[in-house]
Amino acid sequence: MLHKATKLRGFHLHATDGNIGHVDDFLFDEESWVLRYLVVDTSNWIGGRWVLISPTVITAIDAAKQRVDTSLTREQVKASPSIDSAEIEVIETLPSIWIM
């Protein structure tokens, strides 16, 4: 089944042994437009850390429960790379400013 990326934002992520956090954003490959990582906000668990999770570890998506299950353990998530280690252009990390 296909899911819109914008609808997945905010879904709760679950490891095999408990809650991880929620989907905050997505990182796509610039050349191939392939989804490389889900950016997961773990602030309720690890405390203010965004980690990168490969979409290959997703085992199920339950749209009704707004839940994404993974094949990772919580320790594997804790050891995952942070958003700070990703090669993201500075312009993409700046907040949007609306002038009206």
What is the CATH topology of the domain spanning 5-69+76-86?
SH3 type barrels. (2.30.30)
Q: Do 28 and 89 meet the contact criterion of CB atoms below 8 Å apart?
A: no
pTM: 0.79
CA 44 remoteness from chain centre: 14
* pLDDT tens, position by position, 36-81: 889 999 987 777 788 999 999 999 999 999 999 999 999 999 888 8
3-state SS, residue 57? helix
pLDDT of residue 21: 93
